[in-house]
Amino acid sequence: MILTGLAFVALVLLGTPLFAVIAASVLLAFSHTDTRLTVVVSEVYRLSEMPVLLAIPLFTFAGYVLAESQAPRRLVRLTNAFLGWMPGGLAAVVLVVCALFTAFTGASGVTIVALGALLFPALTQAGYPERFNLGLITTSGSIGLLFAPSLPLILYSVVAQQLNIGQPVAIGDLFLAGILPGTLIVLLLALYGAWQNRGQAIPTTRFSVREALGAAREAAWEVPLPLIILGGIYSGYFAVSEAAAVTALYVLVVEVFIHREIRLPELPRVMRESMVLVGAILIVLGMSLASTNYLLDAEVPTRLFAFIREHVHGALGFLLLLNLFLLVLGMMLDIFSALVIMVPLILPIAVGYGVHPIHLGIVFLANMEIGYLMPPIGMNLFIASYRFNKPVLTIFRAVLPFVAILVLAVLLITYVPWLSLGLLRH
């Protein structure tokens, strides 16, 4: 059994598509039982039995349409008009814009590609040192994962709901839970940006009412979006999948018919590209539904919990171990695979230690944000290296101080559950 396990790990490292490796391992595992192998495809079919999954293609499509339009430029102007006067203001602008943008595009690297070209020259022009700029933009590519309606938040809720852990893991609650930890991360990084560039002669722009009004008028169509999503959901007016449908339709009408920044003939390409990402994620989810089914049948999480409880005492010890484990995991796996493969194993154990499932979700995703910046896999490093034509090692050195701040933030998020749960208890 250990040999087969190693063989599968080797297949993953050789670059085999993850869904095929998971499918093969599940087919093999079920072939040793009396269960018919059609169980694997019947689990994939269950993708059509989860109403909330509808939100994933709709939000992703909306995110791709926004990325293709001039919305990022308008967002930069607007944020700059309101934050540009502060010391380190432009750095804060970068963080806020990237966080908002990543929330919509799901940290798939789109942020660095779409906004990097816009923000990097702006930072350089304003007089920030190059190394700082590289670090900042590379890091910004993944912050924002904790803000609604990011795909990883939705995916965590979908996976957690499969596990019958006795506590509901509603998407709406996760959306709320991410607000304070996400803001904490942006705030800490913005403070670092201001502190790091103290004493440097970086001119700040004076706050101008006229520019603020002009920027607000230009972005008037996009500004209501977060309100529509969050307001709609928390007023009970929309279900999450309905909010996604409204967002998709709204963005489509605004960018294609009002701003006319995406021409109608280009739309099919954008649609197809966005669904490539959705297909790649959902097929891994489908296969992992099958593997979760097998793991639960074989009572793997229960046995794992019994084993760990013998060696680790108390929730704090467990959480520390979890942080270390997730950091290493984040270095090896991308966030979507890590979610669908690891949450079914980790969540039952965490609940056994008395960790709230919502808190665990936030801790998990916050850890994964760091994984994006760590070699050997860290996707942001490679995208930034490609985008800015710099060696990966240079980029990695540039992000190190940012990684240190993120580690601090993750520790705070882990050991102060109130940050994640505070907004829920009202």
33 versus 38: smaller Cβ distance to another protein: 38
58 binds another protein (CB under 8 A): yes
Size of the site for another protein (CB under 8 A): 62
Nearest to 163 by CA among 288, 29, 6, 28: 288
Name the one range near another protein by CB under 8 A: 39-47, 178-186, 206-214, 346-354. 39-47
408 binds another protein (CB under 8 A): no
- Of 103, 146, 284, 339, which one interacts with another protein (CB under 8 A)? 284
What is the rounded (10 degree) CA torsion for 250, 253, 254, 255?
A: 120
248 binds another protein (CB under 8 A): yes
Taking the complex as a whole, the smallest distance from the CB of residue 14 to another protein amounts, in Å, to: 5
15 binds another protein (CB under 8 A): yes
Taking the complex as a whole, the smallest distance from the CB of residue 424 to another protein amounts, in Å, to: 26
20 binds another protein (CB under 8 A): yes
Rounded to a whole number, what is the largest CA-CA distance in the chain? Answer: 72
The residues in 321-350 that bind another protein, with binding defined as CB under 8 A, are 332-334, 336-337
Q: How far, in Å, CA of 200 to CA of 159, rounded? A: 47
DSSP assignment string, 179-238 = HHHHHHHHHHHHHHHHHHTTTS--PPPPP-HHHHHHHHHHTTTTTHHHIIIIIHHHTTSS
236 binds another protein (CB under 8 A): no
238 binds another protein (CB under 8 A): yes
End-to-end CA distance of the chain: 49
The residues in 250-269 that bind another protein, with binding defined as CB under 8 A, are 252, 268
Q: How far, in Å, CA of 323 to CA of 90, rounded? A: 32
122 versus 252: smaller Cβ distance to another protein: 252
14 binds another protein (CB under 8 A): yes
DSSP assignment string, 262-289 = S-GGGHHHHHHHHHHHHHHHHHHHHHHH
51 versus 231: smaller Cβ distance to another protein: 51
Yes or no: say if 380 and 373 are a contact pair by the CB < 8 Å rule.
Answer: yes
Tell me how many degrees the CA angle 362-367-371 measures, rounded to the nearest 5: 140
Tell me how many degrees the CA angle 86-412-131 measures, rounded to the nearest 5: 45
Residues in touch with another protein (CB under 8 A): 11-20, 23-24, 27, 36-38, 40-42, 44-45, 47-51, 53-54, 56-58, 61, 238, 241-242, 244-246, 248-249, 252, 268, 271-272, 275-284, 286, 332-334, 336-337, 376-377
